[in-house]
Structure 1
Amino acid sequence: MATAAFVLRNEKGKPVGADAFILDGTTILVVEAIALKEDLLYTRRNGIKNIMAEGDSRLVFEFLYVR
């Protein structure tokens, strides 16, 4: 079992959104990818634009940059 979470902050560093969820039977890499996906979906649903994402998995971000 793994836990994924994200925190959204505005340009001043103030939290403007967050979420956490439990994932069962997966790898850390998948957890990182799902957390990023949920973060991006949250921003879309709430009309948040001009985002900058951070994460622990360099592999997830490298995959996105290649695409």
Structure 2
Amino acid sequence: MDKSLQRRGLRGSPGRNAVKEHLAAGFPVCVGDRSHPGQIIKIHPDGRRELVVVDDAGTITVLSPAPVTDSP
């Protein structure tokens, strides 16, 4: 498994293979992350991470860049 995904806390999530495949295909993904409880992280294929909110219509708004941190 991709070490960068492990560091980002995606190691134990049920959809980790789907996340990895989606990123490899060039698409960003939105995930939860233990290092940012209750928040949504958008991960781009180039490794950029952003804290985002998603409204009821599915519109994604970027709040700020999200630092890459190791999960406990």
TM tier, shorter chain? under 0.3
- Structure ID, larger Rg: 1
Q: Which has the higher helix share?
A: 1
More contact order relative to length (CA 8 Å, sep ≥ 6): 1
- TM-score, normalising length from structure 2? 0.26
